[in-house]
Amino acid sequence: MRLRMLPLEYGIRNLLRRPLRSGLTTLALTLVTTLIYCTIGFLQGLTKMLEVSANPDTAIVFSINMGDNLEYSSIPMSTSGLISGSVDGVGITHGVHDISPELFLGTQMDLPGVEDAFGLLRGVTREVFQVRRSVQIVEGDWMQPGEILVGKLAAVKLGLNPGDIRVGGELTFEGQSWKIAGLLDSGGGIFDSEIWCRLTDLQQATRREDLSLVAISCEQESAFAELNLFCKRRYDLEIQSMSESEYFETLNKDYQPIHKLGWLMVILISISGLFAGINTMYGAVVGRTRELAMLQTIGYGRKAILSSLIQEGALLGMAGSVLGFLICREFVHGVSVKFTMGAFGLQLDQWAVISGCLSGILVGAIGAFAPAIQSLRKDITTGLKHV
């Protein structure tokens, strides 16, 4: 026997017949989906930052046994020159090897009105743009002695307002004031939260004569193997090599507990929304006991009625998901947050949208299921007598 279903318009009309209750339920589901969008947006923003930063054609050389802590790495200043003369397959631009010697460290910033401001410094040479090709100077020019380049998210990392970082302004660290010569943009990578100095200037300010790492742009695949062999042969330098992709994959693994915690929060938020939906839908269904009994009297089966009630919950969840998306799109997407290794923007990408919408619809549908089952268990005669 063919199951006779209630039309979809019936469920929509029922929602409109009770605008206050439907509105409050939608508001609760909007809050739930907004929190889910924010949490997933944080996780997606962190993932994108690591993905954008990794260049598959770039290798890095740093101290052995340093793990992923490049700020603690220390290698001889002569390393970049030895690599250019010993390793084949390194890229060349305008007759200059694509090798960037860099000094990377964290330091305490002396900022008025900001306590415990911690900045990420990178000492570089002009060859840095031959290797860090995703980075561009979007405002200003290359540094002169005593000048710096500042990433577009460095203000967030330092706890400043974006307007506090501008070309011509000054920042104080390592006991001296530095003039801002330009602003950097790496398309969402880790370099957006860094402060770049001339390598020699940073070495003088920190009284160091070493490097933290050397970044190499490999024109040929064989260059990675040759670079690894060079590091193993020159055991006196105590260095190791790794592709930049492998390095950021390692970082991503280190942040897996944060990803797991984020998804756990999504589950807990969904469960709390589920209970709120059950509570609200229970009141809505109990108030329609006589109506549901009458539908059974005129020939609609319990499965058809259950399906209609679940449709109503799913519609409310869909409405909450859409409203939550619009709120996050306007006020959350792209908002920068400070993190241990810099700053990044929350990303409301397709995965965040899909996850948020599905969560809202499922919370609404499942929230309607339990009270609907309980109401439909009553006898038809008892339901018709219900006041």
Are 312 and 14 spatial neighbours (Cβ–Cβ below 8 Å)? yes
Query: According to DSSP H, which parts of the chain are helical?
Result: 8-17, 19-53, 79-86, 128-131, 154-158, 199-206, 222-233, 244-254, 256-286, 289-297, 302-331, 350-376, 380-384
* Structure-token pair, residue 210: 């070493």
Q: How far apart are CA 355 and CA 35, in angstroms?
A: 12
Torsion angle in degrees (nearest 10) through CA of 301, 304, 305, 310: 160
Are 212 and 70 spatial neighbours (Cβ–Cβ below 8 Å)? yes
Cα R_g (the chain), whole angstroms:
29
Residue located via tokens 């770049």? 196
- How many other CB atoms are there within 10 angstroms of residue 291's CB atom? 13
Q: How far apart are CA 186 and CA 155, in angstroms?
A: 15
In angstroms, the Cα distances linking 340 to 118, 132, 161 are 10, 22, 18
pLDDT in tens, the chain (387 residues): 455 677 777 777 877 877 887 888 888 888 888 989 999 999 888 888 888 888 999 999 999 877 667 888 999 999 999 998 888 889 999 889 999 999 999 888 888 777 778 889 999 999 999 999 999 999 999 999 999 999 999 988 888 887 888 999 999 988 899 999 999 999 888 999 999 999 999 999 999 999 999 999 998 888 899 999 999 999 888 999 999 999 988 888 888 888 899 889 888 888 887 777 677 777 666 667 777 777 778 777 778 777 888 888 888 889 999 999 999 999 988 888 887 778 888 888 888 889 888 888 888 888 778 777 777 777 676 666 665
Domain boundaries, the chain: 8-51+255-384, 65-237
* Structure-token pair, residue 269: 């938020």
Residue located via tokens 């939260």? 193
Q: Model-level pTM?
A: 0.81
As beta bridge partners, residue 336 has 345
The residues, ordered by sequence, that sit 6+ positions from 250 with a Cβ below 8 Å of its Cβ are 67, 68
Are 122 and 103 spatial neighbours (Cβ–Cβ below 8 Å)? yes
